[in-house]
Amino acid sequence: MTPQNNANEGPAFTPQNIVTEDDFVVFLYNAFPLFTDDDVSRVLLYYPSTNASVDMSTLDFATSGNSTPTALNESTFATGQQQRADNVYAEATFVCPSYWLAEAFTNNDRISYKYQYSLIGAQHGSDVSSYFGPPTPNQGPDFNKAFMTIWGNFITQNNPSISASVANGASSNSTMGMAATNFPAWSLAAPLQLNLNQTGGTAFSSMSLGGTAPNITEFEEPGLVNDFEIVDAYTWEGGRGMRCDFWRSVGSIVPE
């Protein structure tokens, strides 16, 4: 199995008017109507922030995943309380289930390989055009070939690792795709995932999927280069694995 998540699963599904922590708390009670006051307090603990109003002129940018700031408070689409809500919805609904699927397929001779799709934007479902087509402008030809080959190799060989020539691409002399040549299987002792990203390219303005979230700056050819990395999924984005453990503990009262 190859469970996965995208970097920005939440913006299309959350109200885009969350400015203060009070707004965020109202969102939590609406999204999780079975939560008690104590449950909401636990969310505030696992998703820390401040009660300051969001400066809407603050620059939004994609996080690296393995340093600060993290997806708790920053993304391409939002910052502060809005991002806090976007990330809560993303992790509770899409991201953490991919972790649990990866874990479920790690015994009885079953193997899972997990990845995150992290191209700028990376909203829910935006990855599909890369391997089914037609690709969007921000999905470079080298990336698309590598992504399709990852899936093809998993289907035909039960191993998504790809060759160095495909991983690095034909458009540059870069070696930043090499991580995909030895795609690690997920395990409880080493919950590793492959982060699929690009660097370089030419900036252009793009509307969010569905038009519900703010417009963002993406990057297209010329100049796109594959940038793949093996990362610790448990410590990723400021301790995502720990937050997924929390969501598992309250799963019986999460209405999904």
pLDDT of residue 107: 83
Q: Mind listing the pLDDT tens digit for each residue in 79-130? A: 999 999 999 999 999 999 999 999 999 988 899 999 999 999 999 999 999 9
Residue 34 is encoded by which pair of tokens?
């079975």
pLDDT of residue 85: 98
Q: What is the DSSP string of 88-121?
A: HHHIIIIIHHHHHHHHHTSSTT----EEEE-SSS
pLDDT of residue 215: 85
Q: Mind listing the pLDDT tens digit for each residue in 118-148? A: 999 999 999 999 999 999 999 999 999 999 9
Which pLDDT band holds residue 210 (cuts at 50, 70, 90)? low
**Domains of the chain, earliest start first:** 4-55+69-253 (3.40.50.1820)
* 34, 94 contact by CB (below 8 A): no
Element (H, E) at 202: strand 192-206
Q: What angle do CA 199, 216, 237 make, to 5 degrees?
A: 60
Q: Tokens 């799963």 correspond to what residue?
A: 251
Which pLDDT band holds residue 174 (cuts at 50, 70, 90)? confident
3-state secondary structure of 231: strand
pLDDT of residue 173: 81
Kindly report which listed range (22-31, 147-156, 211-220, 226-235) carries the lowest average pLDDT score. 211-220
pLDDT of residue 255: 86
Give 235's DSSP letter: T
* 112, 160 contact by CB (below 8 A): no
Q: How far apart are CA 89 and CA 84, in angstroms?
A: 9
What proportions of the chain, in percent to the nearest 5, are helix, strand and coil?
40, 15, 45
pLDDT of residue 73: 94
Looking at per-residue pLDDT, the higher value among 161 and 214 belongs to: 161
pLDDT of 211 strictly over 80: no
Q: What pairs with residue 8 in β-bridges?
A: 123
| CB atoms closer than 10 angstroms to residue 68 | 10
Q: Mind listing the pLDDT tens digit for each residue in 20-60? A: 999 999 999 999 999 999 999 999 999 998 665 556 667 78
Mean pLDDT, residues 202-224: 85
pLDDT of residue 54: 58
pLDDT of residue 207: 77
